[in-house]
Amino acid sequence: MPLRGSDRTSGAAAPPGTSSPDQRWACLLPHRDSIVRLARSRGAGADAEDVAQEALLRAASQPGLDLSRAKSYLAKIAANLVIDLHRRSVKEDRLRSHAGLAADAQADDEQVEDRNLAQVASRLVSDLAPELRTILFLRRDGASWSQVGAALGEPPARAEMRYRRAMQPLRRRLSTC
């Protein structure tokens, strides 16, 4: 049965497949805010507005849309768009992490230099007197000067002075490497 002119403007739901684009938009737009809220509640965050807009466009482009079920149709579209958004985000994160694993010639050179410097430093530390090595390792592990002094059985100020005197030649040797 064809629609009469008064039925088209009355807001009554048209049978599926007979709604005009204007009728679809008039039926869909009042649901926009609820679709934005739905998208936010599903984790779309700042993209919730975009999700709602895309859902409205997709629903409005369906000529056979059953206007009596427009809100549930919009909700389903929005939920699927949020899922797609999350999937894209995961893919992008994976790509970024893999890009960070890509070989970088400069980084390799720096790693070799760091490894060589660590070997030199290790040799220099092993040449220190055992008490000085103890001070160095305690400080590396976060011990205070009071704790270092107590471990060595000497005043904290003396332990600090010995440490500073021992570190001067080490720093000079390392700076030339």
Q: Which of 2-6, 39-43, 149-153 has the lowest mean pLDDT?
A: 2-6
Is 176 or 135 the better-scoring residue by pLDDT? 135
Across the range 129-135, mean pLDDT stands at: 85
pLDDT at 2: 38
Across the range 118-124, mean pLDDT stands at: 82
Q: How confident is the model at residue 7 (pLDDT cuts 50, 70, 90)?
A: very low
pLDDT at 111: 74
- Side-chain-facing half-sphere of 113: CA atoms under 13 Å: 10
Report the C-alpha gap between 49 and 24 in whole angstroms. Answer: 19
Is 35 or 117 the better-scoring residue by pLDDT? 35
pLDDT at 4: 37
For all residues of the chain together, what is the average pLDDT? 81
Which residue ranges does the chain devote to CATH 1.10.10? 115-175
Sign of CA dihedral 22, 28, 32, 35: negative
Which CATH number applies to 115-175: 1.10.10, 3.40.50, 3.90.1150, 1.25.40?
1.10.10
